Amino acid sequence: MCEPQTKKPSQTNEYQQHPTRPFLQCFELILPWLTPEEIANVSLTSKSLNQISKPITLRRSSDASRSFENLPIPFHNTVDDHPYAYFLYTPSQLFPTSSSSQPHRQSWGSAKPSSESRLSAEQVSLVDESGHIVSGCDCESCDYDSEDQDGCPCFYELNGSDMASECGPSCGCELECGNRLTQRGVSVKLKIVRDSRKGWSLYADQFIQKAQFVCEYAGELLTTKEATKRQHMYDKLSSDGNFASALLVLREHLPSGKACMRINIDATRIGNVARFINHSCDGGNLLTKLVRSSGALLPRLCFFASRDIEENEELGFSYGEIRLRSNGLQCFCGSLLLLWNIAFRTYLVLLSFGSDSCYVLWPFNLRAMLILYALQKKLRLQ
- What does the pLDDT look like over 49-72, one tens digit per residue? 999 999 999 999 999 999 999 999
Q: 36 in a domain, yes or no?
A: yes
CB 296 within 8 A of CB 348: no
Q: 12 in a domain, yes or no?
A: no
Per-residue model confidence as pLDDT tens digits over 153-187: 777 654 556 788 888 877 878 888 888 889 899 99
- Cα–Cα distance measured from residue 224 to residue 220, given in angstroms and rounded to the nearest whole number: 12
pLDDT the model gives residue 126 = 56
- Cα–Cα distance measured from residue 7 to residue 264, given in angstroms and rounded to the nearest whole number: 65
pLDDT the model gives residue 322 = 52
Q: Give the pTM.
A: 0.75
What lies within 8 Å, CB to CB, of 302 at 6+ separation is: 164, 182, 213, 215, 216, 217, 288, 289, 290, 291
Query: What is the CATH classification number for the domain harbouring 278?
Result: 2.170.270.10
Q: Are residues 217 and 131 in the same domain?
A: yes
Q: Are residues 237 and 187 in the same domain?
A: yes
Listed as ranges, residues in the chain with pLDDT below 70 are 1-21, 96-103, 114-117, 120-135, 140-141, 143-151, 156-161, 241, 254-257, 320-382
pLDDT the model gives residue 355 = 36
pLDDT the model gives residue 357 = 33
Q: Are residues 229 and 280 in the same domain?
A: yes
pLDDT the model gives residue 143 = 62
Q: Are residues 274 and 226 in the same domain?
A: yes
Q: How many domains does the chain have?
A: 2
**47-62 helix and 21-30 helix, angle to the nearest 10 degrees:** 30
Residue-number span of the structural domain to which 42 is assigned = 23-58
CB 177 within 8 A of CB 171: yes
Q: 152 in a domain, yes or no?
A: yes
Q: Are residues 205 and 267 in the same domain?
A: yes
3-state SS, residue 265: strand
